Structure 1
């Protein structure tokens, strides 16, 4: 990362890593075109010119730059004060204080740290999603890919959600793009084969007795006939142009993956996800990619069965293999968040909040993912940041007073929390020893 203090707040973010080609995702300022540079703002209040350039590179990615400019292979260190300046500019002040506290407890020079912290206290925080880069040709772009009408295979695994599945299948009936099949892998009990008779769709129905999400997706992909795989879920709602907008995004940016955006029912797309950008995550509930991508990176890792972050792990394989993946706000879908069925029946819906006091925290697959790709030290940094604020239920994750209280409760419950994390770490070690369970296509 361009600023080393990011390791305290984003230690397990995709962009912390170099791709297999040996480069980070951040473009060199001198390699950017003039029209992109004009979209960025040089912050001359940094101490060093190097930090100014790194800040503009960060801006480019955050504002949605998708291009071919040369990127950094290495980053030089910038002054401590510039690191605090950067954190104050892009993160909440509570997280800046967290970093200060962490560094003081790590026996960094307290005078130097406190001086840098105080000297940057006037830095104004930039709101995420402000003034994104605009791709003005998008609206009038006529996609040759859509005109060629390649076959698309829509993959939907389902488990005891027929009432919700009905809605998304009805949405697929209304798609303006017509050359697609729907592969449903049904794990429901009881199984209702007659349910699918009412839909005017090309449905390839696969009955799967084992309740296993990643097996279901892998099976569907192996049985698909399309050149493209569109990944969806049984509790989402999609618009009639969902398939065509995924294809258009792939064609417009000459990408291999279009990562769609989720937003909760009754809300709108979050501001920070409302524009095109290099995808910083991959969600199997709303994405489209060339089927051949699976030949390059493999299918989904079954180490995540009945647990979480299997899509995150697949996304990092895309990133490391330099596979171009764009975040596509136009190919969005509504996340209905069904209260029953799916992973909720397997007890692992939430990655960081265990189902009972003596269950591992976080889910072991999370630590398997973090440790495998980032190593033990970054994983520990991530745990220090995430575990305390995961004490309260998911619905309160944005309630700031409760988050502060959660940190205090973590201290009071430290022996229990330590046990939960130790248990998760131990189970993750077993997964790491066993290794990934990834089939090739």
Structure 2
């Protein structure tokens, strides 16, 4: 990482680790075009030239620069003052205090830490989304990929959600791009083949008796006709140009993945940090178009995540490690209804960190299996420290600052129980790690 203090705030982010070729996502400053550099804002508060350079590189990636001829493989250590300046430049000031307390608790030099923290106190947070690269030609972009009419396989696992799946299929009937099939892997308790009659779609229906999400997606990949796979959820709504916008993004950026934006309510505005194209730092199988060639190269979804979360996050990490480009695409949005029945909710693993029983594992074991597969233990512990206290509060209130503070206070009171929950999860994840990945190849 260009700045060491990201260890505390983004310990398990894709971009925090190098790819298999040894390089990070960050392009060397000299390889960034002049027209991009002119849109960046140098920060004179840094005390070292390395920090000033790394800051510009950070800006470039986070305003949507997606290229780069040469990339960093290592970073110079920076003065502590520069680390705090970076935190104040891009994160809420409370996180600088959080890092200060962690470092003081870790017996770092209190005079150096407090002095550096105080030095950075006047730095104002930058709003990178307001400086985002504007691809004004994208709406009129004439895609040769679209013109070639490739077959797209839309993949939908479903479980006891016929009422919502009906609207999903109606949205697909309205798509402006016509060259696609719909593969539905139905795991419903009361399976109804007749439900699918009457839709004006090419539907490949698979009745899967086992309730297994990642098996369902893997099966669909294996039987798909298309070389482009569009993963979708059974409780989502999309506009009529949804498939088209995914295809255009793949072509425009010469990418292997197009990650669409997810909204919670019809009519919601796209969040500012998702409102422009950039390299995606996540993968959500509820709205992503991927080339089948990626699966042929790195394998299918890991079935160690069965009946639990983060199988898509792990696949996204494999893509990142193998240097595949996945673009966050604001033009291919969906409304994710997050209905209260069916799907992973029925399996009891919809929320990765929130438990329903006092001695249930927190987080669910697949989370720690993923983290421990790719990150050192120190990073995993920092991730837990940051994520567990807010998880005490119900998901619906996660953006309520007062309730989040209450969650932190309650987590202190419940600390012995929380430690037990984490240890249970750690032990179960350890068993998964010992068994190893369950990743089948795609011929």
Q: Taking structure 1 as the reference length, what is the TM-score of the superposition?
A: 0.99
User: Aligned residue for 2:430?
Assistant: 429
Q: Does 1:3 align with 2:3?
A: yes
Deviation, 1:201, is: 0.3
| Contact 2:246-2:329 within 8 A present in 1 as well | yes
User: Aligned residue for 2:151?
Assistant: 151
| Contact 2:264-2:335 within 8 A present in 1 as well | yes
Q: Flag structure 1 segments of 5+ consecutive residues without an equivalent.
A: none
User: Aligned residue for 2:33?
Assistant: 33
The runs of at least 4 consecutive aligned structure 1 residues that moved more than 6 Å come to: none
User: Aligned residue for 2:307?
Assistant: 306
Deviation, 1:211, is: 0.4
Q: Does 1:49 align with 2:46?
A: no
Deviation, 1:140, is: 2.5
Cα distance in 2 for partners of 1:303, 1:154 equals: 24
Between 28-37 and 132-141, report the one with greater CA deviation.
132-141
C-alpha RMSD of matched pairs (Å): 0.9
Cα distance in 1 for partners of 2:63, 2:124 equals: 18
Q: Does 1:142 align with 2:142?
A: yes
Alignment of 1:243-282 (within 5 A): 243-266=243-266, 267-282=268-283
Cα distance in 1 for partners of 2:36, 2:136 equals: 13
Q: Flag structure 2 segments of 5+ consecutive residues without an equivalent.
A: none
Cα distance in 1 for partners of 2:441, 2:35 equals: 42
Deviation, 1:137, is: 2.7
Deviation, 1:128, is: 5.0
Q: Deviations over 1:257-279 (max 9, x none)?
A: 11111111132211100100001
Cα distance in 1 for partners of 2:229, 2:402 equals: 43
Cα distance in 2 for partners of 1:200, 1:431 equals: 43
User: Aligned residue for 2:127?
Assistant: 127
User: Aligned residue for 1:403?
Assistant: 404
Q: Deviations over 1:252-308 (max 9, x none)?
A: 111111111111113221110010000110000001111111011110011111111
Cα distance in 2 for partners of 1:165, 1:349 equals: 18
Q: Deviations over 1:154-213 (max 9, x none)?
A: 000000000100001000001111111000000001011100002000000000000000
Q: Deviations over 1:192-242 (max 9, x none)?
A: 110000200000000000000000000011010111101001000011111
Q: Deviations over 1:5-46 (max 9, x none)?
A: 000111100001111111000111111101110111111111
Q: Does 1:338 align with 2:343?
A: no
Alignment of 1:231-246 (within 5 A): 231-246=231-246
| Contact 2:362-2:425 within 8 A present in 1 as well | yes
Between 388-397 and 147-156, report the one with greater CA deviation.
388-397
Deviation, 1:139, is: 2.5
Between 264-273 and 130-139, report the one with greater CA deviation.
130-139
Cα distance in 1 for partners of 2:197, 2:411 equals: 52
Secondary structure at the residue paired with 1:198? Answer: coil
Secondary structure at the residue paired with 2:258? Answer: strand
Q: Does 1:295 align with 2:296?
A: yes
| Contact 2:12-2:371 within 8 A present in 1 as well | yes
Q: Deviations over 1:306-349 (max 9, x none)?
A: 11111100000000000111111101111111111100100011
Aligned residues: 441
Cα distance in 1 for partners of 2:227, 2:411 equals: 49
